[in-house]
Structure 1
Amino acid sequence: MLKPDPARSQELIERIRGLDGNKRQQLYRKLHQAGVNVARLPIVPARESGLLPLSYAQQRQWFLWLLEPQSAAYNICTALRLKGEFEAGALEQALQGLIARQASLRTRFVEEDGQAWQRILTPQELGFAVQHRNAGEANPTQAIEACVAEQAKRPFELTAQPLIRACLLQLASDDHVLVLTLHHIITDGWSMGVLVEELLALYQAACLGTVAQLPELSIQYADYGMWQRQWLEAGERERQLAYWQAQLGREQTVLPLPLDRPRPAVQSLRGASLGVHLPAALRDSLRQLARQQDVSLFTVLLASFQVLLHRYSGQADIRVGVPNANRNRAEAERLIGLFVNTQVFKGLLDGPLPFDAFLHAVHLTGQDAQAHQDLPFEQLVEALQPERNLSHNPLFQVMFNHQDSRRLGQVGNGLAVEALQWDNHTAQLDLTLDTVESAEGLSANLTYATDLFDRATIERLAEHWQNLLQAIVANPRQPVGELPMLGTAEQERIVVQWNATATDAYPLDACVHTLIEAQAQRTPDAVALVFGERQLSYRELDQQANQLAHQLIEQGVGPDVLVGIAVERSLEMVLGLVAVLKAGGAYVPLDPEYPRDRLAYMFEDSGIELLLTQSHLRAQLPVPDAVRVLNLDGQGHLAYPTQATGVQPGPENLAYVIYTSGSTGKPKGAGNRHKALTNRLCWMQQAYGLEASDTVLQKTPFSFDVSVWEFFWPLMVGARLVV
């Protein structure tokens, strides 16, 4: 390993400075192969003239800009309320000083021979100026919102203009708002904090006529970008990529959150945000839990968010994007530039897993991610090669970002500075949870794609997250699948109010066949049943079903006696079903097209002793010797009385037994009571209002439960049934 010998370090710096890019790359590779940690070597400053390569993160921003050059989705805004004695000239002097100090703020981008480059301009070449506006008599809040919105939505031309804008809005002589807007290709969240701190320091110095005491910058962002490329390409890229490939695997699925609308083919990036209030008591409990579990508050919040996504999606593999400041070099801490890197945190959950066990798994994932934080997200995407789709972000669709807030307070000359918050109208992802920890407390904000979600959905999601947090601090050992998400009011609404469907309006003591009989008395001559060229009126249907029912009673059919029926689609099929009910029995449909072994199992399992069928089907059915067979295409039932049988099964007696598909093993018979059948059909009539002039096509095989309402509902209300 390289020893921290200052003399040798300086000697190595001079040696590296004298090498061109290719030779410097070769040296880094040799040092890496010799076991030297290249990341510990000083970053050698590059020249500021000529064309310089883009960093990996800048390359991705350049690509996104080429796709949508008129988009403002990657604008980053900050707004400062300045109250007190204010000197506009000192502000302009401070901005010019900041631009001179931070080379990224005077960077333009060009394309030559199909490759993008960055060019660092002198402050004089930049041509930067502050816009001045006066709010006049306008409402201050509305004036601020309008100014911020106008600045935020104006796109940048990366090749032809400054990538920083400053707009000063005067509300009163002692009340101003400064809106700073930068393109993401030259800044990130950390950088915006540095920008504000240094701008205020330079402003204060300008007001006092002194020189701001800012730490010297040994390098600029472009130097870091070149060093990052050379370091990663010397061998570090392969090491870190191997970890992420093993961690994330080959399959990259889209998180199936319940959406309010279908996902559009191309993201519009339109968004909105929702502030989430976290009570002080909950914040304190979360901090205490983090201390007890020896993890950070970040880890607790991330784990809770992944549990929420697991419960919402039903997916076990939850992947969340987490931005990393990527400032692990001392030289980079005070630089403005696009350092932030995005990592994918993978969490594996199932219902029985205790939350505290999952919490420690998230902690370990975070430690491993920290040790492999330098691989640019763009290179990870390129290596994993997820299916490219403009409708969603690759590798993850949800992000979590936790940060500490920076206090601004008073500037030395008596100017009070306050950072303003406003609704974000862009969303690069489906959903982002931002949490901010400060001395005052813990705040949260949800940014969501309005193409996908309604505000009410996000409000409900935010409430569920807070309920999960309360449950977690109350019992961190509780399984993640049992952590309560519903509040008291919502649980009451879902469990009690939505299930308060009892009604006295339905004749639940009446069986369906008696309701059909009543309809036959009301409209005896109306057409009830149609099959091809044949049809039966309600009177004919009722009388012939009565005749067959008498014959069935003679065969021993009565309440809860199962009668098999294996027929093809025909008038006889419906007559047989109604007749079994009139005889007091329960029918068991046996589809003649089923395989013989399935039919044989159903004969045996059901225990039927009587089968209704058609003579031409008899030979293909595996009918046990003990089962009696009655052919419905015979005319024997016509000798029986046309009057009702007088048999009246009770509401709790069986009406039918239908066998399941058997997808989980052998098929199972599922029975239903007369009372339940009447309840279902009366509800359908109340909900959909079938009329006598309507015609219903009986389309479902009678061995499926949907066929039940298709058969009996139209006959119960006087409509026409076509089979």
Structure 2
Amino acid sequence: GEHQLTLESAALQRLSDFARQQKITLNTLLQGAWGLLLQRYTGQSCVAFGATIAGRSAPLPGIEQQLGLFINTLPIIAAPQAGHSVTQWLNDLQALNLSLREFEHVPLYDIQGWAGQQGALFDSLLVFENFPVAEALKQGAPAGLTFGELHNHEITSYPLTLGIEVGATLRLNFSFDRTLFSAAQISQLGASLLHVLEQFVAQPQQSLGAISLLDPIAQAKVLAGSRPPAPLIDSPLLAHQRFEQQAARTPDALAVIVGDERLTYAQLNAQANQLAHRLRAQGVAPGQRVGLAVRRNAQMIISLMAILKSGAGYVPLDPDYPAERLAYMIEDSGMDLLVAQPGLLTDVALPQGLPRLALEANADGYSTENPENLASAEDLAYLIYTSGSTGRPKGVCLAHAALREFCVIAADYSQLTAQDRVLQFATFSFDGFVEQCYPPLCVGAALVMRGDELWDTDTLYRQIIEQGVTL
């Protein structure tokens, strides 16, 4: 296949002026953009492409008038560094081209032998032609002889060839193997090459890492294609309100299964309401952070839903985490209250003055009615910490709006229904827990939780069968 681009004289003049300012050739400028483009498209730090050499630079009298094919092809090894400036990269490439003159008559097969390479050294070729053949034929034609329009057609054995013709305009001729490239891909490649050249000329001191392959319009198209349409939020209700709505709709449906424990939607909602009212009585309010240390049982789901209902955001504290990590999370999060089951966090150094609430205390005296919602969509829903594999764990804050949107999206792509039973196995300090917990409870599905013990494959298989897990 073939694809052509033409830069008019004004654009060519800008490139030529820039090359002179940088003390490089126009050929080097095009090579610099092409090498960077190949590096970005292939994802390799070091790339190679072929470049044709005129072969007529030898100091032989009359060599320019001699007939014959003197051109040769040499490999250009390019490793653009993201931290280097455009100017630095082009100067390095110009120096490389000058050094290659020593080898301009060396056959390519000799270079392959030196490199210990049996196959091709490169799979793209750049052919730069700055001799105005058409103009020379026109001026040198004898009387009565005229030449028609000259068309240059490059045919090579390489999958991709870029032919560059410099005259009154700059023509870029792409020849490509249709079994490897589509016309649309080559068209985008050409557009990217022009955009890179524009940025080279506009800001020669910028780093190569700041060079973009796509212009703003192309970037917008890529982003639009990669982003799914915004989910349809059918109501402004937050995640805990959607759960309340579901509990009113299917009060007797199973909500949580943990071992021998069973909670219906009505029971889960009532117990979460009691704890939420108790938290409100303790002064918990929107914007506050409530730490939660609890074992893997129904109380975990009750407590999480209660904190959301209270308006505060929760900070999950897996009691199986190392004491030092838990202490850091408690200190770093700046929590306003720590809620924990008895016997947990006994070896963790807690900040002085941190209010605590034990989950063993009786909450029967508190209302089972839904508390008035005080949280806004922008208020904190939960603060979760990263693994800390690159250093200290980092806290990430998620708002109620994000949790609500995620519940809608997850329920949609998983096609959740009230008939589903969803396996909940992730620690609640891991973001995978959010996907396994809240979307199912917003649509009336049942959570099948593992307890504190880890399941082997046989136990997992048996539980999936026995509990009728569907997801």
Quickly name the TM-score band, shorter chain normalised: 0.7 to 0.9
Distance in 2 (CA, whole Å) between partners of 1:696 and 1:455 is 46
Partner residue of 2:11 out of 277, 282, 286: 282
Is residue 691–residue 719 contact of structure 1 (8 Å, CA) maintained in 2?
A: yes
Distance of aligned partners of 1:336 and 1:482 in 2 relative to their CA distance in 1, 3 Å threshold: closer
Deviation at 1:552, TM superposition (A): 2.8
Q: Residues 623, 384 of structure 1: CA spacing in aligned structure 2 closer, same or farther, 3 A cutoff? A: farther
1:513 and 1:276 map into 2 onto residues whose CA distance is 58
Identity %: 33
Change (3 A) 1:608 1:473: closer
1:360 maps to 2:91: yes
Relative to 1, partners in 2 of residues 1:693 and 1:446: Cα closer, same or farther, differing over 3 Å? Answer: farther
CA shift, 1:465, in A, is 1.7
Code of the residue aligned with 2:256 in structure 1: it is: L
1:574 corresponds in structure 2 to: 301
The C-alpha deviation readout for 1:263-307, integer Å capped at 9, x for no partner, is xxxxxxxxx442223233212322232333332211111122234
TM-align CA RMSD: 3.9
Distance 1:450 1:621 in 2: 65
1:465 counterpart = 2:197? no
- 1:310, 1:349 within 8 Å by CA — same for their partners in 2? no
Radius of gyration: which is bigger?
Answer: 1
Residue pairs, 1:375-386, within 5 angstroms: 376-378=107-109, 380-384=111-115
C-alpha deviation, 1:660, in angstroms: 2.2
Cα distance in structure 2, aligned partners of 1:645 and 1:360:
70
SS at match of 2:374: coil
Query: 1:581-611, CA deviations, whole angstroms, 9 ceiling, x for partnerless residues?
Result: 1122211112233222211211222233543
> TM (normalized to structure 1)?
0.53
Q: CA 1:674 to 1:355, structure 2 compared with 1: closer, same or farther past 3 Å? A: same
Structure 2 residue 78 is matched with structure 1 residue 346 = yes
CA deviation vs aligned residue, 1:474-532 (integer Å, no higher than 9, x gap):
45445444456544543555689988977884534x32111110111112222222334
Whether 1:561 and 2:291 are equivalent positions in the alignment is no
Match of 1:539 among 258, 261, 266: 266
Aligned to 1:435: 164
Q: Secondary structure at the match of 1:655?
A: strand
Structure 1 673/302 Cα, relative in aligned 2: closer, same or farther at 3 Å?
same
After superposition, the C-alpha distances for 1:524-568 in whole angstroms (9 at most, x for unaligned) are: 222222334433222122112112223333444222221212334
Q: 1:587 aligns with which of 282, 304, 314?
A: 314
Distance 2:144 2:277 in 1: 105
Q: Does 1:678 align with 2:404?
A: yes
* Aligned-partner residue type, residue 649 of structure 1: A
Change (3 A) 1:284 1:602: same
Which runs of 5 or more structure 1 residues have no equivalent in the other structure?
1-271
Contact (CA 8 Å) 1:347, 1:362: kept in 2 or not? no
Instruction: Work out which of the residue numbers 650, 653, 657 in structure 1 matches 2:383.
Output: 657
Note the alpha carbon deviations across 1:197-233, whole angstroms, 9 max, x for none: xxxxxxxxxxxxxxxxxxxxxxxxxxxxxxxxxxxxx
**Does residue 596 of the first structure (1) align with residue 323 of the second (2)?**
yes
Q: CA deviation at 1:366?
A: 1.0
Distance 1:566 1:377, change over 3 A: farther
Counterpart CA distance in 1 for 2:240 and 2:28 is 63
Query: In the alignment, what sits opposite 1:550?
Result: 277
The Cα of 1:720 is off from its aligned counterpart by: 2.8
Q: Tell me, what secondary structure is at the counterpart of 1:302?
A: helix
What corresponds to 1:300 in structure 2?
29
One-letter amino acid matched to 2:444: G
Letter in 2 for 1:470: E
Q: 1:400 aligns with which of 126, 135, 141?
A: 126
Instruction: Tell me, in whole angstroms, the C-alpha distance in 1 between the residues paired with 2:428 and 2:336.
Output: 20
Q: Size of the alignment, in residue pairs?
A: 440
Query: How do 1:109-188 and structure 2 match up within 5 A?
Result: none
Question: Which amino acid is the alignment partner of residue 581 of structure 1?
Answer: L
CA contact (8 A) 1:317 1:347 kept: yes
Q: 1:696 aligns with which of 422, 425, 438?
A: 422
Match of 2:333 among 577, 583, 606: 606
The amino acid across from 1:346 in the alignment is A
Q: Is the Cα contact below 8 Å between 2:411 and 2:440 reproduced in 1? A: no
* Structure-1 residue corresponding to 2:52: 323
* Contact 1:564–1:588 (Cα < 8 Å) also in 2: yes
Query: How big is the shift at 1:657?
Result: 0.7
Q: Distance in 2 between matches of 1:419 and 1:667?
A: 66
Cα distance in 2 for partners of 1:546, 1:427 equals 74
Amino acid at match of 1:707: F
Verify the 8 A CA contact 2:72 2:105 in the aligned structure 1: no
Quick check: 2:53–2:73 contact (8 Å CA) kept in 1?
Answer: yes
User: CA 1:469–1:625 in structure 2 vs 1: closer, same or farther (change >3 Å)?
Assistant: closer
In the TM superposition, residue 579 of structure 1 has moved relative to its aligned partner by 1.2
TM superposition shift of 1:401:
2.4
Q: Which residue of 2 aligns with 1:456?
A: 184
Contact 2:341–2:358 (CA under 8 A) maintained in structure 1: yes
1:99-149, Cα deviation, whole Å (9 max, x unpaired):
xxxxxxxxxxxxxxxxxxxxxxxxxxxxxxxxxxxxxxxxxxxxxxxxxxx
Structure-1 separation of matches of 2:265 and 2:290: 24
| TM-score (ref. length: structure 2) | 0.78
Matches within 5 A, 1:239-278: 272-278=1-7
Would the alpha carbon gap of residues 468 and 643 (structure 1) be closer, same or farther in structure 2, given more than 3 Å must change?
same
Quick one: distance in 2 between partners of 1:603 and 1:705? 18
Q: Work out whether 1:445 is the aligned partner of 2:173.
A: yes
Distance 1:700 1:382, change over 3 A: farther
Q: Is the 8 A contact 2:290 2:313 kept in 1?
A: yes
Equivalent residues of 2:290, 2:312 under 8 A apart:
yes
